[in-house]
Amino acid sequence: MHQRGRWPLILTFLAPGLILYTVFVLSSFAQGVQISFTNWTGFTPTLEYVGLDNYLRLFRDGAWWRAVSHNAVLLIVIPVLTLGLAMLFAALITRGGAGNLRAMPGAELYRVLFFFPQVVPVVIIGIMFSYLYASRGGLLQGVLQMLGTDLLTLVPNGPLGNPDTILLAIALASVWSSVGFYMVLFLSAMGGVPTELYEAAALDGAGRMRSFFHVTLPLIWTHAQTALIYLGIGTLDSYALIAVMAMTGTAGDFGADVMSTYLYRTAFSFSSQFGYAAAMGTVMMLASVALALVTFRLTRREEMQY
Amino acid sequence: MSAPLGSRTPASSRRSFLGLAGVLGIGGLSACATSGAPAGAGAGSSDGGAGNAPTSPENPFGLGDGELTAFVFDGGGGGGVPHLDLTEELFLEKHPGITTDIVRTEDLGTLQPQFVNGTPPDLFQNSGSGALDVTTLTANDQLATLEELLAAPSWDDPEITVEESLNPGVREAGMIDGQLIGLNTVQYAWGIWRDAALFEEQGWQAPSTWDELMALSVQIKAAGMYPWAFTGMHANYFHEGVLQPLVAKFGGQEVWKNVDNLEDGAWHQDAIREAAEALLQLRTDDLILPGVAQMTHIQAQTAWLDHEAAFIPVGAWLENEMKSAIPEGFRMTAGALPSPDPALADLVPNNPGAGWYVPAAAANRPAAFEFLRALLSREASRNYAELNNSVTMVRGAHDDQELSEAFGTITAMIDRSNAVEPWQVVKFSSWYPSLAEEAHAALMALVLGDLDVDGYLARCQAKADEVKADDALRKQTR
């Protein structure tokens, strides 16, 4: 095909997507950044610019830094637990790698079972875990009582009423909901690893542990990297679960208040400070980009060809 | 009222806004959230509606024909706000030339873009989690004052004004920024609820003084029950239902006025300290049902219905909310919070609520006013009480109305309280929501966590000082 003739074709295919993306994604981002330089209340058609005031205020806002610290905790706890468990389950189902020794009996069933929570909407998961943690008639309480102890003795005020435990209790709900998805992701990656490599490793005397760490893991590393970034950005948000389980961050003496919930309350409960909230949104956006770049940099390894 | 909207911001900022949009390369797309119609245009003057008629006592706002658009919060439950059907009927009977469009919605958030575009409805009832921030709307001059409505002849008796047909407190509750903006039609009184059948069976007397309460608490615990349950997730229940009246009973209602006005050291007033000490004792004497910290209002109310606790602070809507869960033989009874000062024993927080608002840019303001006038009629009020088991602000409308036993105890409780003195609504929670949020969290840490009285007072005062120093928050006084 002629070089010149290609462009109209490419543009025809690209244009609809680009236009939609620009209208519904880029323009909202741009507008959010624009609003962050104003004291807009969200009700008027006009804007009044206040320069960097919102950002300076944010820098001095104790409640904001408290929220940031909670996000930081989640950023460590959720990916470590989620990806660790997902990798473990994937490895167990395939016995350390797709190739050797093939799948265990019942692997298909586990695949479906573990993936199941992914199909349940986040809000339902939040409500479900709130009941699970309830001190009257909750599942956790029931199990503990069978063991002869009481939830409220172990955790005063309950997991969601105690500032020290509320964040972890919510993180566990998040881990439960997404482990299955990442397990399936890792399973499919493991399926792509050639069987010969495992046979060679086995001939060299490598057991299941060794072949997992020295064959499987390096070969599916790019998948793990993608999962880490995807999960990290989702964790930076964490809005839905905390909105449902922690009264948009206010429950448990703000023990689970994160950037997104604080942003929401700033815009919709605290005297309509949309400009200030937009500044928080902008910082969150920059944080997401920074997180992705840092993760890529920290996890960079030599690319394997197979 | 003339076009106040655009005047807040000089035209130059609009130009620079477009300029910035251009710089960002989105010139053609900058018309999303923030560039609606050019503001207000003074649509809602009182001759706004279509065909007008001359004013008369029967038709005080000179309503002719046209359309009435209203948005109403509908909390779900399949009710569809049924009491409005009768109001609509009454309204249409008098004004057959009007077409009404009353939108029932679970989320009023959809009204926000309508305000941005300068095309709000004629009327809205502001409740629910998506309720609009009427304080900011008032500051932006986007809501109309309701003086004309309250000065008009009442629906049932043209000899008296609408205001004279209402119980005290409607005006105070509707004041924002020194103007009468909201019309709060329902009495949300906070009671301390108990099961009268249980008290009879156990031979317990409902306490009226704080000492009696503490003495009874010992007996209640001896019977294997906790004295108190409440929701820790919605901390405002304990704040409004217990702390607010307790402070008022210790030191009078001016104490809260000082807090509302952000007076220096307001949280360190003696009455608040005494109330905090009394409430801390609930924790140290182990008088609160364990686990309430993570209970929602429904969970706490269910525990109370199951006799796990003797008292629960909830508003007048309790019976309606728990209708399907009330066990047989349970006799819901509302009473005032026991008082350290016997003279104030009957005082209860009684906040007019379920506010209605009329946008300044309403296309048909006379119709909105007339609809509210019909809503405040005797007939509509009694119908409301029948359907919702709660009391409206219309004076004497429910005097001879016999509904449930719980309803009777609420009306009696409100009457006794009004005989002591009218309750003055504590305003800081609506004026400074960030202060309210911190005060609620600190209160929960005091009664459920490990905060002491000094720590509690210091936390609240520190936040009040922060709010006071924050220029971005508009200050109000009462």
Q: Which is it for the CA torsion A51, A53, A59, A61, positive or negative?
A: negative
Which residue did the predictor score with more confidence, A93 or B358?
Answer: B358
Looking at the predicted structure, is the pLDDT value of residue B96 above 80?
A: yes
Q: What is the pLDDT of residue B330?
A: 96
Q: What is the pLDDT of residue B262?
A: 97
Q: What is the pLDDT of residue A94?
A: 79
Which range of A234-243, B266-275, B410-419 scores highest in mean pLDDT? It is B266-275
Q: Which of residues 206-235 of A touch B (CB under 8 A)?
A: none
Question: Crossing angle of helices B270-284/B453-469, nearest 10°?
Answer: 130
At B131, is the pLDDT very low, low, confident or very high (cuts 50, 70, 90)?
Answer: confident
**Mean pLDDT in residue range B132-161:** 93
Query: What is the C-alpha to C-alpha distance for residues B260 and B269, in angstroms, rounded to an integer?
Result: 13
Percent of chain B with pLDDT strictly greater than 90: 66
**Mean pLDDT in residue range A3-7:** 75
How many pairs of residues across A and B have Cβ atoms under 8 Å apart? Answer: 161
Looking at the predicted structure, is the pLDDT value of residue B388 above 90?
A: no
Q: Do A46 and B14 touch (CB under 8 A)?
A: yes
**Mean pLDDT in residue range B355-379:** 94
At A215, is the pLDDT very low, low, confident or very high (cuts 50, 70, 90)?
Answer: confident
Looking at the predicted structure, is the pLDDT value of residue B95 above 80?
A: yes
SS3 of chain A: CCHHHHHHHHHHHHHHHHHHHHHHHHHHHHHHHHHCCECCCCCCCCCCECCCHHHHHHHCCHHHHHHHHHHHHHHHHHHHHHHHHHHHHHHHHHCCCCCCCCCCCCHHHHHHHHHHHHHCCHHHHHHHHHHHCCCCCCHHHHHHHHCCCCHHHHCCCCCCCCCCCHHHHHHHHHHHHHHHHHHHHHHHHHHCCCHHHHHHHHHCCCCHHHHHHHHHHHHCHHHHHHHHHHHHHHHHHCHHHHHHHCCCCCHHHHCCCCHHHHHHHHHHCCCCCHHHHHHHHHHHHHHHHHHHHHHHHHCCCCCCCC
**Mean pLDDT in residue range B99-125:** 92
Looking at the predicted structure, is the pLDDT value of residue A304 above 70?
A: no
Q: Chain A closest CA to B35's CA: distance in Å?
A: 5
Q: Do B35 and A45 touch (CB under 8 A)?
A: yes
Looking at the predicted structure, is the pLDDT value of residue B259 above 90?
A: yes
Q: What is the pLDDT of residue B270?
A: 97
Q: What's the complex ipTM? A: 0.89
At A95, is the pLDDT very low, low, confident or very high (cuts 50, 70, 90)?
Answer: low
Which residue did the predictor score with more confidence, B352 or B228?
Answer: B228
The per-residue pLDDT for range A30-80, each reduced to its tens digit, is: 999 999 999 999 898 888 999 999 999 999 999 999 999 999 999 999 999
Neighboring chain A residues of B294 at a CB cutoff of 8 Å = 130, 133-135, 157-162, 251-252
Looking at the predicted structure, is the pLDDT value of residue B68 above 90?
A: yes
What value does the mean pLDDT of chain A take?
90
Query: What is the C-alpha to C-alpha distance for residues B391 and B393, in angstroms, rounded to an integer?
Result: 7
**Mean pLDDT in residue range A7-34:** 92
Looking at the predicted structure, is the pLDDT value of residue B453 above 60?
A: yes
**Mean pLDDT in residue range A181-204:** 87
Q: What is the pLDDT of residue B17?
A: 38
Q: Do A47 and B14 touch (CB under 8 A)?
A: yes
- Homologous superfamily in CATH for domain A53-298: MetI-like (1.10.3720.10)
Instruction: Inform me whether the C-beta atom of residue A28 falls under 8 Å from chain B C-beta atoms.
Output: yes
Least confident of A263-277, B390-404, B424-438: B390-404
Which residue did the predictor score with more confidence, B462 or B395?
Answer: B462
Q: What is the pLDDT of residue A97?
A: 52
Instruction: Inform me whether the C-beta atom of residue A196 falls under 8 Å from chain B C-beta atoms.
Output: no
Q: What is the pLDDT of residue B22?
A: 38
Neighboring chain A residues of B302 at a CB cutoff of 8 Å = 136
Q: Do B441 and A31 touch (CB under 8 A)?
A: no
Neighboring chain A residues of B24 at a CB cutoff of 8 Å = 30, 33-34
Least confident of A115-119, B302-306, B440-444: A115-119
**Mean pLDDT in residue range A170-175:** 96
Q: What is the pLDDT of residue A51?
A: 93
The per-residue pLDDT for range B6-20, each reduced to its tens digit, is: 333 333 343 343 333
Least confident of A88-97, B329-338, B361-370: A88-97
The per-residue pLDDT for range B459-471, each reduced to its tens digit, is: 999 999 999 999 8
Looking at the predicted structure, is the pLDDT value of residue B173 above 50?
A: yes
Looking at the predicted structure, is the pLDDT value of residue A99 above 60?
A: no
Q: What is the CATH number of domain B57-185+354-400?
A: 3.40.190.10
The per-residue pLDDT for range A138-160, each reduced to its tens digit, is: 999 999 999 999 999 999 999 99
Q: What is the pLDDT of residue A3?
A: 61
Question: Testing the interface with A: which of B15, B23, B294 to mutate, by most A Cβ within 10 A?
Answer: B294
Query: What is the C-alpha to C-alpha distance for residues B232 and A166, in angstroms, rounded to an integer?
Result: 14
Neighboring chain A residues of B14 at a CB cutoff of 8 Å = 46-47
Q: Which fold has domain B188-351+424-469?
A: D-Maltodextrin-Binding Protein; domain 2 (3.40.190)
Q: Do A43 and B34 touch (CB under 8 A)?
A: no
What value does the mean pLDDT of chain B take?
87
The per-residue pLDDT for range A221-243, each reduced to its tens digit, is: 989 999 999 999 999 999 999 99
Indicate the domain borders of chain B: 57-185+354-400, 188-351+424-469
Q: Which of residues 341-380 of B touch A (CB under 8 A)?
A: none
Q: What is the pLDDT of residue B33?
A: 47
Looking at the predicted structure, is the pLDDT value of residue A82 above 90?
A: yes
Q: What is the pLDDT of residue A6?
A: 85
Neighboring chain A residues of B132 at a CB cutoff of 8 Å = 43
Q: What is the pLDDT of residue A96?
A: 54
Q: What is the pLDDT of residue B402?
A: 80
At A301, is the pLDDT very low, low, confident or very high (cuts 50, 70, 90)?
Answer: confident
Instruction: Inform me whether the C-beta atom of residue A31 falls under 8 Å from chain B C-beta atoms.
Output: yes
Give the Å distances, CA to CA, from A90 to A8, B5, B12, B136. Answer: 45, 60, 60, 53
